[in-house]
Copies of this chain bind each other. A is one copy, B any other.
Amino acid sequence: RDYVSLAQRFIPADILAYISGGSGQDITLHNNETAFHRWAITPRVMPAPENATTAIQLFGEQLRHPLLLAPVAYQTLVHPQGELATAYAAKSTDTCMLASTLSSVTLEQIAQRSTAERWFQLYFQPRQENTNALIQRAIAAGYQAIVVTLDAAIQAPSLRAVRAGFKRPETVKAANLIDPGSDTPRQHSSGESRIFRSRRENAPTLQQLQQLIDESPVPVIIKGVLHPEDAGLLQQSGAAGIIVSNHGGRTLDGAPASLSVLPAIRTTVGDQYPLLFDSGIRSGSDVFKAIALGADAVLIGRLQLYALSVAGALGVAHMIKLLREELELCMAMSGCATLADIRATELHKPF
């Protein structure tokens, strides 16, 4: 986790504000992290069982550990090689990488670098044909799942980023998009609220979503779910899995901590349904706690960028290794041989 502090020396202040900040006053961002501190893992004295493993089966694939690289846009902001370095690290650590629609190199280039498991994160585009094109390219490039992010159709700008005067440099572009600037919400002169319209235009209709789920040759996973009711509906509509996430506190400041809604959502979708989690994970014990509270696997957001900024592919690979070892430490000390054992573990209050 020391990448958090190291990164401060490697990332320019305005970009750091953009990355580390949340939306608004960072209340949700802050709650994301403190939510983990409300739980404690009680160590056991007996030696770790033999054959302990962090392996997990997800959508028919066997993963060596439950750490995934969250979709994070514009990675050349912090390192010249950007997503290519991340992809390389993913490959070398057997990590599933989620490539963002807003990557600063094309999804095909990323695919070339990463022979490991990889999923494509999709932002629906205002024009349906553009959305379809992205999906087809992703499948053609061998992405094994489509992750639809539903919580970021509009984003409140981070006060921190605004104050730091952050503006995306001209040279960093959304390489996948036909018009690379087209992700910025347009201004409308009509009487209707810019906000409501933008939200509608950048989010799929229920029909569009259902069609994607029904027709996709690869599993469709929904990212950005915080309400049990939504989770239930999405499960019924055939989504292959759900990612409980508040986008790292970057969308609605005032949203609950991601961890706090996890148990209720697990209860709703039942024990067998694939449930992933992100937002606020900073250490291996956070991973352990998320799994104990209902997650099958977790996504790593900011830590990824911090490590990338410090040492490129090596940094990201090292960060994954550290997190994995911290998770193994928690397992060893609490007597868990498998992730299923973690799930069966009761967390306690910390004091």
Contacts and interface: CB of A to CB of B under 8 A. Distances in A.
A169 interface: no
A162 B349 contact: no
Interface stretch (A44-52, A104-112, A133-141, A297-305): A44-52
A225 B45 CA distance: 6
Interface string A257-299: 1011100000000000000000000010100110000000000
A147 to B, nearest CB: 13
B35 A351 contact: yes
A2 B44 contact: no
Given A254-B41, A256-B349, A351-B259, A156 B326 contact: yes
A70 interface: no
Interface in A2-40: 2, 5, 24-25, 27-28, 31-32, 34-35, 37-40
A194 interface: yes
Contacts of A229: 44
Contact of A206 (B46, B48, B194): B46
A49 to B, nearest CB: 9
Contact of A227 (B44, B54, B205): B44
A329 to B, nearest CB: 5
Interface stretch (A82-90, A174-182, A196-204, A308-316): A196-204
Interface string A38-70: 111111111110101110000000000000000
A328 B40 contact: no
Interface residues of A, number: 81
A218 interface: no
Contacts of A289: 254
A155 to B, nearest CB: 9
Contacts of A253: 283, 285
A221 interface: no
A236 to B, nearest CB: 13
A146 interface: no
A212 interface: no
Contacts of A285: 24, 252-254
A101 interface: no
Contacts of A288: 254
B350 A45 contact: no
A214 interface: no
A76 interface: no
A230 interface: yes
Contacts of A200: 47-48, 50
A230, A252, A257, A325, most chain B CB atoms within 10 A: A252
A163 interface: yes
A27 B2 CA distance: 15
13 contacts: A27-B350, A34-B351, A43-B246, A43-B251, A46-B206, A47-B199, A47-B206, A154-B329, A156-B329, A195-B328, A196-B332, A252-B333, A254-B283
